[in-house]
């Protein structure tokens, strides 16, 4: 009986850890991480980014504004902020996978690669690609919280649902409505334990 209690306690702890660490499997799910959007803006849509691809200018900029610890960084002009936010809407983006949306239109941005742990710049490249962003609902608004790389130059699927559209009936429901086998197992164990006492 003591072994069953230990097993139940461990199962509940694992289930809670699984739920808090899992990535949402649909965009625009309610989040409690309110700094996510602010961090995204501070990292990717900064004011005053250099207008050139000069490595010395970018090294100085990154040293002065933080980011030396990140080996790959992408920067969008501040003038694109409304368009970037719109990727997390039906008008501006479609579901890519999990909680990621891909922009309907391509964007120009700069990717800076540096030596890990230093601000030594290896390359500065201007890219034109569709943005892939993780989108979460913060204060009743779906906003970007993470910039996902697009190394294969993926494009939006014209048949995908818009970023804020509700899932189709019987289709891709958000994780909050899905019951995993772990939850089923835990419920079964609680029932069994309850009947024995």
pTM for this structure?
0.73
Mean pLDDT lowest for which of 2-6, 7-11, 64-68, 119-123? 7-11
Residue 133: phi and psi, rounded to 5, are: -125, 140
pLDDT tens profile 93-122: 999 999 999 999 999 999 999 997 788 999
Mean pLDDT value across residues 154-181: 68
- Give which of 160, 167, 69, 57 is closest to 118, Cα–Cα: 69
Q: Would you kindly state where each structural domain of the chain is located, as residue ranges?
A: 24-168
Residue that wins the pLDDT comparison between 29 and 16: 29
- pLDDT for res 194: 57
- Give which of 72, 73, 71, 92 is closest to 81, Cα–Cα: 92
- pLDDT for res 197: 57
Q: 115, exposed or middle or buried, with CB in 10 Å at 0-12, 13-18, 19+?
A: exposed
- pLDDT at 13 > cutoff 70: no
Residue 95: phi and psi, rounded to 5, are: -65, 130
Residue 61: phi and psi, rounded to 5, are: -60, -45
Percent of the chain at pLDDT exceeding 90: 62
- pLDDT at 66 > cutoff 80: yes
Please check whether residue 182 is in contact with residue 14, taking contact to mean a CB–CB distance below 8 angstroms.
Answer: yes
Mean pLDDT for the chain? 81
Backbone CA torsion sign across 87, 40, 20, 32: negative
Pick the CATH number of 24-168 from 2.40.30.10, 3.10.130.10, 3.40.30.120, 3.40.50.2300: 3.10.130.10
- pLDDT for res 168: 59
Compute the distance between CA of residue 8 and CA of residue 95 in angstroms, rounded to an integer. 37
């Amino acid at each position: 009986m003591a072994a069953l209690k230990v097993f139940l306690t461990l199962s509940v702890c694992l289930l809670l850890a699984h739920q808090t660490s899992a990535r949402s499997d649909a965009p625009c799910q309610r989040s409690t991480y309110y700094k996510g959007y602010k961090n995204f803006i501070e990292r990717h849509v900064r004011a005053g980014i250099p207008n050139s691809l000069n490595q010395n200018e970018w090294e100085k900029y990154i040293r002065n504004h933080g980011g030396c610890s990140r080996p790959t960084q992408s920067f969008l002009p501040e003038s694109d902020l409304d368009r970037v936010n719109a990727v997390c809407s039906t008008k501006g983006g479609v579901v890519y996978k999990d909680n990621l949306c891909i922009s309907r239109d391509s964007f120009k941005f700069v990717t800076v690669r540096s030596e890990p742990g230093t601000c030594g710049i290896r390359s500065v490249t201007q890219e034109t690609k569709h943005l892939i962003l993780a989108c979460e609902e913060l204060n009743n608004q779906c906003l970007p919280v993470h910039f996902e790389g697009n190394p294969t130059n993926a494009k939006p699927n014209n048949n995908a649902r818009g970023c804020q559209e509700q899932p189709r009936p019987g289709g891709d429901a958000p994780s909050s409505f899905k019951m995993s086998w772990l939850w089923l197992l835990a419920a079964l164990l609680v029932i069994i334990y309850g009947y024995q006492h």
